[in-house]
Structure 1
Amino acid sequence: MVAYIRVQTDGEMTIRRSTIEEMLGRPFKMNDLEINLASFAGRIETDPEYVRFYFVKHL
């Protein structure tokens, strides 16, 4: 059993509810993702259909 998965990307990443449901083979509520979210760097934008993680660099 996997206890932790690290996902890393440049700029931004969007996870869609439809993709998670397809992979799990069952309905999924996007707010359930936050329960298992250990940490992230940057900002998060939530919606019932997707979660967007993004990082804005300021000089």
Structure 2
Amino acid sequence: MSDNKVNIGKQDRLKVDAKDPGEVEYLHRQFPWFNHQKIKDAIKRAGPFRRNIEKHLAGAGK
């Protein structure tokens, strides 16, 4: 998914790009007990939608 940092909108808030270090870092700050690779794995498993990723990570626990 190409991401133009100038054009932000609803789709940019709804989805997470696993290739964007800033987006992975944002999730890492929300779930600090997971390293970046675990978060990237969660994105692959749960899909690109932020809500599903957060639900997946919250269910994985500490």
Whether TM-score is above 0.5 comes out as no
Q: TM-score, normalised by structure 1?
A: 0.30
Question: Of Structure 1 and Structure 2, which has the larger fraction of its residues in helix?
Answer: 2
Structure number with greater Rg is: 1
Question: Of Structure 1 and Structure 2, which has the larger fraction of its residues in strand?
Answer: 1
Q: TM-score, normalised by structure 2?
A: 0.29
